[in-house]
Structure 1
Amino acid sequence: MKVAVFSIQQHDHEHLVPGLTAAGMEPVVYAERLTEETIHLAAGVDAVCVFTNDDLKRGVIDGLADQGIQVIALRCSGYDNLDVGRARERGVRVGRVPAYSPNAVAEHAVALLLTLNRSVHRAWDRTRRGDFRLDHLTGFDLVGRTVGVVGTGRIGQVFARIMLGFGCRVLAHDPYPNAELQAVGVEYRDLDTLLAESSVVSLSCPMTPENRHMINADTLARMPRGAFLINTARGALVDTDAAEIALDSGQLGGFALDVYEAEAGLFFRDWSLAGLPDRRLARLMQRDDVLVTGHQAFLTHEALTNIADTTVSNLTTLHQDPDAQPEGRVV
């Protein structure tokens, strides 16, 4: 089976490509994102393998199907970039990686919180220049604080348990409350109550058309003044313009993000010489009360191994048996 792998990165060469080759597949790799402009690169393959910022909307699905490609493997968990209905209409089978490492993402969210709260990023920048002053580096104890977790799927569950370990009161919001979390002290609340009572709000929910910009000017105004917002889920959950205004006013005390609503075409590339073309993101990155990482929360050896193994399995299964139902099948 010949597979076109789009948005290839160094870690894919180290983990995914060897796995595909070992399974008897022929990977053809591209650094380019899959878009309507790059569909032609998939000519002659049996399947495509894509990442979180590749375009799987109607036009791309049609372009792939018109070339006879019937299998798509997402090497990520989210699929908000996929036109599910169109894939179903065109008979395109799609698999994803539902759980590569909840610990990886949850631990990264904690790292962002600790770094932002204790100004580790600022201290590191200062001390490497020989400046050991403590001015403006004061944080707060997490013990006794209320932390709100929006979304208690696999990642949210791990994050909530870590916060309990810090001695925090943990509130959660999810349409499907988790009894095991409730048993260890997590309290489920409606979103308004969670926002109003939380010093820290962490997003770990999937992206849907209904919750786009769920964190906006109105919801930010309901949070305690100076609260922190952590987003390791999907960028468009947050209205970035509203967040920037809230930071300017002091309503939002800090914003740590591993995902960004306009990250497609920006993240996973080096802009150090050309300059970042997104002025809003460039402004945010100049702020001491903002911490940005480039969609790396998943990036651990364990997660990459799981992603490669599941992706290879999905490609094999969906190619051989159109009716197969692997755990990660979307369509």
Structure 2
Amino acid sequence: MSIDIQITKRLKEYTLRFEFHSQRQQTALLGASGSGKSMILKCIAGIETPDEGYIRINGRTLFDQAKKINCKPQKRRVGYLFQNYALFPNFTVEENIACVLPKKKRAQVADLLARFDLTGIAKHYGEQLSGGQQQRVALARLIASEPEILLLDEPFSALDTFLKEKVELEMKHFLAQYAGDVLLVTHNRNEAYRLCEDLVIIDQGQNLEAGPLKDIFSHPRFLATSKLTGCKNFSPIKQLDGQHLFAKDWGLTLKVPQPLTPNVTHIGIRAHCFKAVEKLSGENCFPIQLLDQTETPFEWRLLCQTPEGQHPLWWKVNKEQWPTHFSGFLHIAPDEIQLLETSSSDDERKFLL
């Protein structure tokens, strides 16, 4: 299984330029709303047409502008799961599945109903189904069409929190058995982390960063990537020596885990990475003043200020880890500090933090 994509499409806000090559992977396209994620899926499915480039699935060319190839959507063998699942409301469950099958293959409907645990509701209509049942019907219909690739366009966005977690678990089990490539579009970093192996960060139609998902979460290269993966604390820096810097927004001199390169302009620190300590001892310890604190069911969210800081820090701590007596000092381990570069599209207003 393989995907080879290199496309350009001019949009009103920016020009989408997307390049992607994968072999049998479950990949998340993570980006803010309006970054071009869904447009990429629509181009692959044939709903939209790129201005330039090519799209190849398992060696088959679905689109090639230079060669004047543009396969019709129904010929692409691409399964597209829309946000609202797009079931036909006047069809029963079994009719929704059967409609994509030729008559000679209608016998497969019973097998698909059993596989997706839908046999007991085969005669039900869409309005009688829960969100999880609707998703299973949509997936059964996709599999009936024998797709070589699955495109999942924010499939959990319309569900409430309780149902979303249940449906996401069902999706995880399904994807573990699916043999083809999967592209999941989301702006929810937790969905991406739980469901996918690889990650592509999309920012204003550009591939900002791509690779193994856990590696990118642990060691993002760009400021925009760090924001999209959930980091809360950022500061521009002044490099002091090989492994020391001055964080301008917090007035702190910090040791970092590796020699600094000229491209590093910022640091990022995740809110859960700070540790309370009893006293100032060694590098990367500093005093803070608590400005505000908010209690959630399982953690404290604290807004802190350093003595020389121009901007506050976010600190999140699980309730069971909250010290019985807080001395007012924090420590950050050098390997918890992200060394970040800025990209041409870094813009504070585009990110959902």
Higher alpha-carbon Rg: 2
Band of TM-score, shorter chain: under 0.3
Q: From the two aligned structures, give the one with the greater helix fraction.
A: 1
With normalisation by structure 2, the TM-score equals 0.27
| Structure with more contact order per residue of length (Cα contacts < 8 Å, sep ≥ 6) | 1
With normalisation by structure 1, the TM-score equals 0.28
Q: From the two aligned structures, give the one with the greater strand fraction.
A: 2
